[in-house]
Amino acid sequence: MQNPFAVGDTVVTTWGWTVTAFQIVKTTAKTVTIQQIRVNNGKPVRDAFITDKQERHSIKLDHSGKIAVNWHYQYLYKYIFYKYIF
């Protein structure tokens, strides 16, 4: 699948009542690098990196190096990544 995102796009993640917004700062054929621009639960996250390996996506938070969340491909695109304009 072709990467549907471009540098400058804004995407949001949703988990329960928490909504976090990111701006894409770099893209490749299979990856996007994103930087947080807004969060509503008060927890700082800094940068995150999303990669595609065998239809799984992982989110790793750079500042801790310990948090990695794997998402199924369909789950990511249905619930997690939406192009969003503020």
The domain spans of the chain are: 10-83
| Mean pLDDT on 40-47 | 48
74 — pLDDT class (breaks 50, 70, 90): very low
Residue 15: Cβ-neighbour burial (10 angstroms; 0-12, 13-18, 19+): exposed
Supply 34's token pair: 């994103």
Return mean pLDDT, the chain: 50
Q: Which pTM was predicted?
A: 0.44
Report phi then psi at 38, rounded to 5: -160, 145
